[in-house]
Structure 1
Amino acid sequence: MRKWLLSILILTLAVVLMACGSDDNEESSNEEEAASGDSKWEEIQEEGELVVGTSGTLYPASFYPEDSDELTGYDVEIMKEIADRLDLEISFEEYGVDGLLSAIDSGRVDVVANDMEVTNSRDESFDFSEPYKHSYATMIVREDDLSGIETLEDIEGKVHGGGATTVFAQIAEHYGAEIESYGNVTNDVYLRDVENGRTDLIINDYYLQSLALQALPELEVTQHPDLQFHPSDSAIVMGEGEEELKEKMDETLNEMREDGTLTELSEEFFGGKDASQEPEEDVEEIEGLDL
């Protein structure tokens, strides 16, 4: 009886030790993998390709020209130039704005370039390159009555059209607007909905809105003449802690800034304006909104 009990105790102890040993080995293995595992930059180098997430519907950052199946735009051409200078092939994966960051998390893309604004909340989960675009927000409203909006406070109770997770939607909600969310649609859909009254306003980037209006002059909508607010920087987004990848992106962007490539691309896509430089306009900061 005593021998039987002793055997059971020894067997039980062995199982416990085996289990503990297994956990320790697994943790040790995971730690070793984390320490010695390939970084995203090493993975990109090994594949020889940079996979970029973008929308393909955001003129002039990422879009298809009429009668063309060739993706282009300010952000797209910047990424093509970066890949070329880093001796990499490049491919683009298209997602709606609300799905771009999750595409980084899932590993479907290496980086995102889609006029993505640097914010405090995004910076908690992702890393950003140095900015390649400096701008601010304006709003598109109906031409005849400015959608009844004279100040930012007048947004309360109005309907804002745009992606639900964008900074611009957060600004609209901050002032009490209702959000009408869209999928991955083109600019004319947003603008026509303001014109026909389905929505009242679209808060978005100054440069993007200026060019969208130029492209669709027949629509009876306009940029609000008196409201310039929320200065912003746009940059390449990548996974958190990818220091080597960030270093490569920053080095290449700085080269492109110094040799005039960023200015040249900006002037090409933003009607002769240099969005790679800080704006000179007096732009209102929004208080009480942590972005």
Structure 2
Amino acid sequence: MRKGLLLILIVMLAVVTAACGSSDDSSDGNNSNKDKSSASSKWSSLKEKGKIVVGTSGTLFPASYHPEDSDQLTGYDVEVMKEAASRLDLDVEFKEYGVDGLLAAMKSGRIDAVINDMEVTKDRQKEFAFSTPYKYSYSTMIVRQSDLSGIHSLEDLDGKVHGGGATTVFSKIAEHFGAKTKTYGNVTNDVYLRDVENGRTDFIINDYYLQTLALKAMPDIKVQLHPDLKFHQTESAIVMPKDADTLKQKIDATIKEMRDDGTLTKISKKFFGGKDASKKPEEDIREIKGLDL
């Protein structure tokens, strides 16, 4: 039996890719031809196999998880990927990794793409290709019900303890404001929430939609969303190898088609309590200055 309730999103440190040469020189022209071949080879390989292998955590409710008493993988991200693959005439095979291992698995060639509520960031874009976003959101934080963990603004995070993944955007935000991060492995959501409740940590920064539903799933734990703090607007997308240009074009066109015909909205409302996460939020979201994400 597996429970799919975990609040981890990941950020891997990116390395700068080599710049492309000019096409004026004959050798550079050969490189250009190789680049074009590389850009299409990934897609050609997938079409030949008839299958795309996609990495996900399987523990991120409600994006990628196993319902209680079931081994069936589902969630907003999973169903979006299934539909996109179907429209591309591909079977989809999901492989599950801890969130800190997803991008490494793709770099090593064990998987073809990643979908796990993965935020588009400048650092990641240096090393990976991202599809057009299929989800828009922003960050909030979970705090103790009794005293809001003594937090009334982001500046109050100084000296507090944040529960999260070591390489996440959310930990970067917490540490930017002076907090320390207590890290976890691939554990379920109740571990995070109870640590806030009992004071081992003070808060958890994460996605608004994910946190809202996680709290509804465990109402006995004495924590809540902070009533006033909304910050760091986000976009989530499918991650692919940097040189998979043709695959990216195919997936981009498919995501647009799914948005235009209402499929993204339909899937979102199923998993996000009737809310449409496929559209940009209208709330006033604080931008965090001085932190390049």
TM-score by length of 2: 0.87
Q: Which residue of 1 aligns with 2:130?
A: 128
Measured after TM superposition, the shift of residue 34 of structure 1 is 6.1
Residue segments in structure 2 that go unaligned for 5+ positions in a row: 1-29
**Amino acid in structure 1 at the alignment position of 2:286:** E
Residues 80-91 of structure 1 correspond to what in structure 2 (within 5 A)? 80-91=82-93
Q: Which residue of 1 aligns with 2:287?
A: 285
Identity of aligned residues (%): 67
Give the distance between the partners of 1:169 and 1:206, measured in 2 at CA.
15
| Greater percentage in helix | 1
Pick from 157, 163, 168 the counterpart of residue 161 of structure 1.
163
Task: Give 3-state SS (helix, strand or coil) of 1:39's partner.
Answer: helix
Per-residue CA deviations over 1:169-205 (Å, capped at 9, x if unaligned) read 1111111111111111121111111111111110000
Residue segments in structure 1 that go unaligned for 5+ positions in a row: 1-28
Pick from 179, 184, 192 the counterpart of residue 182 of structure 1.
184
Structure 1 pair 237–214 and aligned structure 2 pair: CA distance change class (3 A): same
Measured after TM superposition, the shift of residue 214 of structure 1 is 0.4
Pick from 101, 105, 108 the counterpart of residue 106 of structure 1.
108
Give the distance between the partners of 2:188 and 2:87, measured in 1 at CA.
31
Per-residue CA deviations over 1:151-185 (Å, capped at 9, x if unaligned) read 10111111111111111111111111111111111
Give the distance between the partners of 1:176 and 1:241, measured in 2 at CA.
37
Measured after TM superposition, the shift of residue 31 of structure 1 is 9.3
Aligned residues, how many? 265
Give the distance between the partners of 1:86 and 1:278, measured in 2 at CA.
26
Q: Which residue of 2 aligns with 1:218?
A: 220
Per-residue CA deviations over 1:11-35 (Å, capped at 9, x if unaligned) read xxxxxxxxxxxxxxxxxx9998766
For CA contacts below 8 A with separation 6 or more, give which structure has more relative contact order: 2
Give the distance between the partners of 1:243 and 1:32, measured in 2 at CA.
14
Task: Give 3-state SS (helix, strand or coil) of 1:70's partner.
Answer: coil
Residues 35-54 of structure 1 correspond to what in structure 2 (within 5 A)? 36=37, 39-54=41-56
TM-score by length of 1: 0.88
Larger Rg: 1
Residue 61 (1) aligns with residue 63 (2): yes
Structure 1 pair 33–124 and aligned structure 2 pair: CA distance change class (3 A): closer
Pick from 260, 265, 268 the counterpart of residue 267 of structure 2.
265
**Amino acid in structure 1 at the alignment position of 2:44:** E
Measured after TM superposition, the shift of residue 241 of structure 1 is 2.2
Give the distance between the partners of 1:98 and 1:257, measured in 2 at CA.
29
